[in-house]
Amino acid sequence: MDKISLTPGSVTLDQLRSVWTGAPIELAEQGWAALDVASESVARIVGSGRTIYGVNTGFGLLAQTRIADDRLEELQKNLILSHSCGLGDPLDRRIVRLIIILKAIGLARGHSGVRRLIVERLLALMEADALPIIPAQGSVGASGDLAPLAHLGAALVGEGRIEFGGEILPATDALARLGLGPLTLGPKEGLALINGTQASTAIALDALFKGERVFASAIVAGALSIEAVKGTDIAFDPRIHELRGQPGQIAVATALRGLLGDSEIKASHADCGKVQDPYSFRCQPQVMGASLDLLRHAARTLQIEANGVTDNPLIFPVEDEALSGGNFHAQPVAFAADMLSMALCEVGSISERRTAVLVDPKMSGLPPFLVRESGLNSGFMIAQVTAAALVSENKIMAFPSSVDSIPTSANQEDHVSMATTGARKAGTIARNAAGVVGVELLAAVQGTDFHAPLKTSARLQRAVDEVRAHVPHYAADRYFADDLSWAQQAVLDGLLSQEIEQELRA
């Protein structure tokens, strides 16, 4: 596989999706040149004897403490060790890959002052698939994602743990297997590694990329549910949506029309006189379209953040200046993560309502709970309950983290974003929504089975055939958990939705 060349400052979401799925990367030459220029600037600043925060001072409330030049290496390592305070389960490997790449991109913008050796070592770990163990909890998303990024930095200096070759090893052992030794950090390098929004941004990007697949799968599931209840597509007429003008709504209506286009099932009831379906069917463009607009807005914010320089202080090599600001405050990421949570919560909510209609014979005209001999068989009764449970769990988690704040560091850091917490729960909401949509997919395919020999559209039939290749028709009660698990993972893997995903990104 060819390496993807990443140019710091202009990395695309498509490139980050490729990183997320394991593609090899390389840094464009201009990034290496920018690193050299900035690190030379830091050397000149240190040589001048000036007092610069984070270069030759303490940190946070201790910023007024000047550190002697002969202890600057010790200062930077102590910073990494003292801040490696994360708790909880390790972050997913895909997230760690993103964190490493985002950190490399930010450093290689040339305003952090680290040597190229730091980025070389980060990319060496990536290339070897030797990924630091980074606990998920411990960041409030304000003075950078300090604890998670400290665990990344700890691996470089031979502390903490690294997953390599299927084993979790002490960092020194993993580095030795790679023929590497622990790094000795230069002025500002420890601070540059732990300061920044790369952890919260990576976790939010993971939620976004999962969410895109969940969203597109929900469009497929929604179209199949329309087929199962022999619903009308009048509500998707483009004239309706053009009058309102909301771009997401227009895109979803277009996608649904495209999926239903050549359906035999649709043609079979063209003259039935049915004019309206329940809102969860009829209002898919309005509800899903609004969610799509939020997903797109969050995506734009996260792409900008992924390319940003978010540590502190920032180095301006032309002037040899180090300016202290607050780019480490992750409020944009916090808002984006909360948007993802709200959007995906609604995707699951409307999906579950369609499943509820499908299992109700009064609403759907289908056998009760989508199974013959209902009573003897319970069919999809509890699958719908599972979907309802996941939806209610998501409602609780969808409360925005970004409205919370708690002071830290002896009130020096007195307002925080809670971006990392928001991003983590957005990922959980995405996974729960995938389970909800997976239940609907199985229910909708089951519903269309009852209309045989009529077939759905060619595009939807491909989804039906993929489901049926793994999950047989529900003829009588059976152990169902494995089928639901397959459907949830199929949604998360984008197995049924790649075409719609591409259309919605266009």
279 is catalytic: no
Per the CB < 8 A criterion, the answer to whether 97 and 19 are in contact is: yes
In angstroms, the first-to-last Cα distance of the chain is 25
Q: For helices 198-228 and 93-107, give the axis angle rounded to 10 degrees.
A: 130
The residues, any chain, with a CB within 8 Å of residue 300's CB and separated by 6 or more, are none
What does the alpha-carbon distance between residue 506 and residue 502 come to, in Å, rounded to a whole number? 6
Look up residue 305 and give its two tokens.
């953040």
Determine whether 89 is exposed, middle or buried from the number of CB atoms within 10 Å of its CB (0-12, 13-18, 19+). Answer: exposed
Q: Are strands 161-164 and 167-170 parallel, antiparallel or unpaired?
A: antiparallel
What does the alpha-carbon distance between residue 243 and residue 436 come to, in Å, rounded to a whole number? 32
Strands (E), 273-365: 314-316, 321-323
What does the alpha-carbon distance between residue 488 and residue 121 come to, in Å, rounded to a whole number? 37
β-partners of residue 170 are 161
Shortest CA distance to 320 belongs to which of 32, 53, 42, 54?
42
The residues, any chain, with a CB within 8 Å of residue 316's CB and separated by 6 or more, are 41, 111, 322, 323
Q: Which residues are catalytically annotated? A: 53
